[in-house]
Amino acid sequence: MVEIRWHSRAGQGAVTGAKGLGSVVATTGKEVQAYALYGSAKRGAAMNAFNRIDDKPITNHETKMSPDYVFVIDPALAFSDDITKNDKPDTKYIITTHLPKEELIAQIPELQDKKDRVYVVDCIQISLDTIGRSMPNTPVLGAFMKVSGMYDLDFFLENMKKVLSKFPQKIIDANMEAITRAYNEVK
Amino acid sequence: MAKKFELNEVEVWDGNYAASQALRQAQVDVVAAYPITPSTPIVENYGAYQANGFVDGEFVMVESEHGAMSGCVGAAAAGGRVATATSSQGFALMTEVLYQASGMRMPIVLTVVNRALASPLNVRGDHSDMYLGRDSGWIQLDAFNSQEAYDLTLCAFKIAEHLDVRLPTMVHQDGFTTSHKAQNVRPLQDEVAYKFVGDYKPVDDMLDFTRPVTHGAQTEEDWHFEHKAKQHKALMDSPKVIDEVFKEFKELTGREYKRVESYMMDDAEVAMVILGSSVETAVLAAKELREKEGIKVGIIAPRNFRPFPFDLIRDELDRENLKAVVCMDKSAPGGAMGALFNEVAGALTSTKARPMVTNYIYGLGGRDFSIEEAQRIMKEQKAHADAGHITTQIQQFSGVRGPKLGFYETRRGK
């Protein structure tokens, strides 16, 4: 079982991102869960989304999880959210930031002993450059493919296109570019 | 003619989307609806299908849930296949008309996304609304995940509209835990699903002008009781049809449903009776506990909340090896034992084995139900079994902050 916790702000597309990831993974015969913890959250409020991925049907409906991966898709949440909550000795962190990795880690005490498990990528800038607005949900999935090695980039892009098929071609292309850039730029 | 909707063999759907697809495939004639969290996407999606030509029926926007169910009653009396969705406060506002619908024997399908009732205001899931419907004369089916929300919604039409039943039917799923959690769902293709549900068969439809009828007449003491007795008998007789529909569904899909689901009960020393999405978590917790500590835990889950499967519950509980049973109620009991406890305890009194039975109130307002907590409760039942008497108070609260709450002591075996 692979478990992922997203740290996001309402409006940044974490739920869509989590469902998109689930849809792609499900095409490979795996079982998935994608859900979120929000109530009447307003745009900008901190929230969590979650993914579970397994080879057999997933029947655990506990909200809380000990994640294998933590995605932080809003730069400020790395500082204000408890991003290491319920983590494991091998939990990997993919954090959106404009800061160099060392500079970011230096400012977050909880990450001091996890330096080799922290990956950074500027999903905000990437989405501004490609999609034209701050939408860090799809780029972080590109970074995830690189860090986890779960699927080839090309395979992921092909399947993600299907997930986004209801959008205009221009948006789909921009998302593909954003995913590719994050895949190449994550450190 | 409605357009066909392209579906993959495996889709990743949340419970709301799954329910809305089942409504679309059943080709409902009238959906009268008023949106409320967390069931809003059911009617929102349905409205989109209607606007985009995927359903031929009417979508009626109304001013409230009272209006929604009233519209449904009118449309059902006119002679159409009818469905809607609601949650929580909306369900509460509908309640007056729920009794009208069942009394008038209108086979309406209501998809309920279970949510807490205010106050305090809370959009998250518990079973307060499901429990509120339990005396309303509706058949109530309970889905534990999104696949089941889809499957049971299709089954609901077939059960409700069956000529031997003709009772409105609710399909419940847990707010957010099921309604907003995307999971692998294996849907039927449109024509297969519709063929399973079948064409609607009107009974005493008001649009048949050659044969005028009255629905919802006034009776007073002269006939009211006979109507209610007949309605109760229809509910009590409905399991035959429910079983048939489940059997037919299994033949079509391989997915098996029973009015009471049970897991690992054959050699169980302790059992947990539980509803909704927590059933799956509890089964996982029980399996782990069996492996790690060798405690023989079984799970009993009423799939059919109404009519209450008194007999089947009794069959599950009347085992010599079974010593302690805990009933998990996810609804504020309001000055009583939990409803599930009361009903299970009622079924227990006429068993030979008469295991000990206790009650937990848990998960109110969407409070997380963890594997760890499930196992703590299961181990507590084992302690009762080992001691030969209930070692705690009979009703307790799980996962609530503040001083420990508990009520009533046992008078047996201490």
CATH of domain B11-187+219-253: 3.40.50.970
Q: Which of B122, B178, B368 sits opposite A63 (nearest CB)?
A: B368
Residues of chain B short of pLDDT 50, as ranges, are none
Rounded Cα distance, A138 and A134, in Å: 11
Query: Which residue in B367, B366, B412 sits closest to B391, CA to CA?
Result: B412
The CATH class of the B260-407 domain is: alpha beta
Which residue in chain B is spatially nearest to A31 when comparing CA positions? B184
Spell out the domain ranges in chain B. Answer: 11-187+219-253, 260-407
Structural domains of chain A, with CATH: 2-185 (3.40.920.10)
Q: Minimal Cα–Cα distance from A6 to chain B, Å?
A: 14
- Residue A42: its pLDDT value, please? 83
Write the burial class of residue B238 (CB in 10 Å: 0-12 exposed, 13-18 middle, 19+ buried): buried
The Cα A154–Cα A179 span in angstroms is 10
Spell out the residues 6+ positions from residue A89 whose beta carbon is closer than 8 angstroms to its own: none
Residues in B closer than 8 angstroms to A62, CB to CB, are 281, 368-371
Is residue A30 predicted with pLDDT exceeding 80?
yes
pLDDT at B1: 83
Whether the CB-CB separation of A49 and B196 falls below 8 Å is answered with no
Instruction: Write down the pLDDT at residue A172.
Output: 96
Fold: same for B11-187+219-253 and B260-407: yes
Q: CA B47, CA B24: separation in Å to the nearest integer?
A: 10
CA dist B73 and B12 (Å) reads 33
pLDDT of residue A163: 87
Closest CA to B171 of B192, B201, B205, B145: B145
Burial of B328 (0-12, 13-18, 19+ CB in 10 A): buried
Q: Looking at the partner chain, which of B180, B283, B370 has a beta carbon nearest the beta carbon of A62? A: B370
For an interface test with B, which of A38, A55, A59, A66 has the most B Cβ atoms less than 10 Å from its Cβ? A59
**Assigned token pair, A164:** 């986004």
State the burial class of residue B134 (Cβ atoms within 10 Å of its Cβ: 0-12, 13-18, 19+).
Answer: middle
Tell me what the mean pLDDT of segment A33-48 comes to.
86
Of residues A23, A57, A63, nearest to B12 (C-beta): A23
Q: Can you give the pLDDT at residue A40?
A: 66
pLDDT in tens, B323-365: 999 999 999 999 999 999 999 999 999 999 899 999 999 999 9
Cis status, amide bond into B239, omega within 30 of 0? no
pLDDT in tens, A72-93: 999 999 999 999 999 999 999 9
- pLDDT of amino acid B129: 98
Q: In what order do the strands lie in the sheet with B260-263?
A: B260-263, B297-302, B270-273, B324-329, B356-362, B395-398, B406-407
